[in-house]
Amino acid sequence: MNRVLILPAVIAGLSLIAVSCAADDTDSGDLTPPEVIRVEGWSDGAATASEESAVADTAESALSISEHSAINGDMASDYMVPWTIVTDFVVGDLPALPTGSTGYVYRSDSTVSEDIAVRLATALGVDPTPQTRPEGYEVEWAFGPDDGTAPSVTIDAFSQHYWWYSPDWSEGEAMDELYSCTETVDAEGNVTVDCPEPEPPVGVPSAEEAEAAARKLISAAGFDVDGLTYEVNADEWYASVYASRQLVDGLSATGENWSFGFGAEGALQWAGGSFVAPEQVGPYPLIGIDEALERLRENYLGSGGSVGEEVSIAVAEQVEEPAADSALAMEADDSVSGMMIDEEWEEPAEITVTLVDVAADLWWATDVDDNSWLLPAYRFIGDDGGWYTVPAVTDEYLIEMPVYVQDEEPQPEPAPAPLPDVSEPDDGGVASVGLDQMMESVIVVLENQVEELDDMTLQFLEEVTDALYTEDEFADLAAAFGLTVRAVQRDGEFLMVTEDYLLTRVNVVVESGVVTAVDSIG
């Protein structure tokens, strides 16, 4: 029996849709008639809005911990091993099912006009002459150089057209040089390392000044600043602004969103987001409680629960004393066993979850044509504190397509490569370390910081455990999630860094040009 290990803190932390009482949304304006959505059969990952950043909502998490943690205490601290396996779901005293029936779609064939792209680049002070990037970058528009010699703006070619701004890198390099450490060795061979104390930059804008600057940039880019919700954080080191437009009444899911970071003298140090609004589709007919319960039990399209001989959902059992949680969802198969399971692993107990509450949600799905969908969904809350989500659209509008694997002609096995001479330099150990070191480092970060990280950061941390990236690739991936990257250790040498604390910055360890670990967020 396959077992998917999911910690409740992850279910809460990675959810990007804050759910509350949602009214019927069928009269929210002109809708495209309902379309049949064909998705590929689910295999190794649940395509839920809780686990995919469909709308880049970095503000709040769904059905917030503060609303439902009372069921079993503070989920961020009260859960740890031993594990329990959900073997069945039963319905408790549930309120009426949500009635929101509108879906949202980002079309894969959508484009950003040159006029809009040029206006954005101009507003951000970037040379508005379009540039080309390598085809593999999946970029629709690029402005400025890609080597950091001047500011740049990039708009990707995917359905939501995320964009990000990068300043001239010379300022950061000058700062690194200013605060670089010096090392002296006396006659007896004693080493003294002297590192100057970083000082707060001059002219960091206040919260009010940062919001005003953000509004000015959005307006200069040709977009409406009214109706946006602004969240501002400012201290002596840095000021950041996150502006978003609510996508659905009653839910804090956002479509249009903007992120800005300001440093010394109000200089723009980071910006990014998505200005694309999804198309509204519906109203869709919705399933009832019996169908929803069956979908949970069958793990329908990767729903948040499953029973029987197929797949079971394991959640952490509450303990009396607080303890850090792993906060990573993973499938307990041979490929990952040993990374998270220690010698004290105990056989999990089987439990039945009673569903005690339900709220509206949106279900993320990518169809066979690469359109990105947000579909009406039900998020059930169990008496164990876990969240269990299923799409609410009826079967005739949500079709699972079979996945065909083409048989390949057998190929002769290649001759084994000669073993390298042990005296020859290797790749710095990066390949041997592999993903284990990255996975372990992310677990530690989540154990220490999960309560202060937003949904986009949590999803990013989940993303980087899938593969190793070069430093540039890692920075590009982080930029797509509204984050910056700073190396704090390179090839075994610790680097001098400033003491400012930014929740939009990922501190990493680099070995031989490859990011092998996440040190912290901040």
- DSSP string spanning 224-277? --TT-EEEEEE-SS-EEEEEEEEEETTEEEEEEEEEEEE-GGG-EEEEEEE-PP
Please say which residue of 275, 293, 321 terminates a domain.
Answer: 275
Q: Are residues 237 and 206 in the same domain?
A: yes
Is the pLDDT reported for residue 286 higher than 90?
A: yes
The confidence band for 497, taking pLDDT boundaries of 50, 70 and 90, is confident
pLDDT at 401: 80
Structure pTM? 0.59
Does residue 41 lie within any of the structural domains?
yes
**Chain segment 169-217, per-residue pLDDT in tens:** 887 666 666 667 888 888 888 988 888 888 899 999 999 999 999 999 9
Is the separation of the CB atoms in 386 and 378 below 8 Å? Answer: no
For residue 221, give the 3-state DSSP assignment. Answer: coil
Last residue of one domain, picked from the residues 255, 275, 295: 275
Gap between the Cα atoms of 392 and 98, Å rounded: 9
Q: How far apart are CA 492 and CA 370, in angstroms?
A: 42
pLDDT of 392-430, one tens digit each?
A: 999 999 998 876 555 555 566 666 555 444 434 344 444
The CATH number covering residue 167 comes to: 3.30.310
Range from 12-21, 248-257, 283-292, 320-329 carrying the lowest mean pLDDT: 12-21
484: containing domain = 430-521
Clarify whether residues 93 and 123 are in a common domain: no
Report for 111-115, 360-364, 398-402: range of highest mean pLDDT = 111-115
Alpha helices in 266-350 (DSSP H): 289-298
Q: What number of helices (H) and strands (E) belong to the chain? A: 10, 26
Read off the DSSP letter of residue 395.
G
Rounded to an integer, the average pLDDT of 274-282 is 93
In this prediction, residues 482-494 reach a mean pLDDT of 87
- Measure Cα distances from 223 to 139, 144, 183 in Å: 22, 22, 51
The predicted structure's pLDDT at residue 47: 38
Residue 409 falls inside a structural domain: no
From CA 294, how far away is CA 288, in angstroms rounded?
A: 10
Tell me which of 296-310, 399-413, 427-441, 504-518 is least confident: 296-310
Residue 116 has pLDDT above 70, yes or no: yes
Residues 225 and 348 in one domain: no
Residue 321 predicted with pLDDT over 70? no
Q: Which residue has the higher pLDDT, 191 or 302?
A: 191
For residue 330, pLDDT over 50 is answered with no
Indicate whether 140 and 232 sit together in one domain.
yes
d(CA 321, CA 326): 16
pLDDT for the residue 465 = 84
List the single range of 85-94, 207-216, 320-329, 481-490 with lowest mean pLDDT. 320-329
Q: What is the mean pLDDT of the chain?
A: 76
Q: Is residue 324 part of a domain?
A: yes
**294 in the same domain as 246:** no
Q: Are 519 and 508 in contact (CB under 8 A)?
A: yes
Same domain, 123 and 243: yes
Structure tokens at 281: 């589709």
Asked whether residue 25 is domain-assigned, the answer is: no
Q: According to the model, what pLDDT value does residue 304 have?
A: 54
What is the mean predicted confidence (pLDDT) over 225-237?
94
Q: How confident is the model at residue 437 (pLDDT cuts 50, 70, 90)?
A: confident
Same domain, 97 and 146: no
Q: What is the mean pLDDT of residues 222-227?
A: 93
Would residue 79 count as lying in a domain? yes
SS3 451: helix
The count of structural domains within the chain is 3
Residue 415 lies in a domain: no
Residue type, 466: D
Q: What is the pLDDT of residue 308?
A: 32
pLDDT of residue 117: 97
Confirm whether 417 is domain-assigned: no
- Clarify whether residues 99 and 149 are in a common domain: no
CB-side exposure of 320: number of CA atoms within 13 Å? 0
Question: Which of 212, 243, 275 is the endpoint of a domain?
Answer: 275
136-150, 230-244, 315-329, 478-492: range with lowest mean pLDDT = 315-329
Q: What is the pLDDT of residues 139-161, one digit of tens each?
A: 999 999 999 999 999 999 999 99
Is 226 found in the same domain as 369? no
Do 181 and 243 reside in the same domain of the chain? yes
Question: Is residue 106 within 8 Å of residue 278, measured between CB atoms?
Answer: yes
Reply yes or no: is the peptide bond before residue 82 cis, omega within 30 of 0.
yes
Which of the two residues, 254 and 426, has the higher pLDDT score?
254
Considering only residues 519 and 64, tell me which one the structure prediction assigns the higher pLDDT.
519
DSSP summary character for residue 97: P
- Say what the pLDDT of residue 417 is: 53
Read off the pLDDT band of 115 (50, 70, 90).
Answer: very high
pLDDT reading at 322 higher than 50: no
In this model, does residue 333 exceed pLDDT 80?
no
**Mean pLDDT of the region 58-63:** 29
Checking if the pLDDT of 80 tops 50, the result is no
Mean pLDDT, residues 362-382 taken together: 92
pLDDT value, residue 113: 97
Give pLDDT, residue 479. Answer: 85
Domain check: are 266 and 291 in the same one? Answer: no
448 confidence band (pLDDT: 50, 70, 90): confident
CA–CA separation, 94 and 355 (whole Å): 7
Residues 256 and 121 occupy one common structural domain: yes
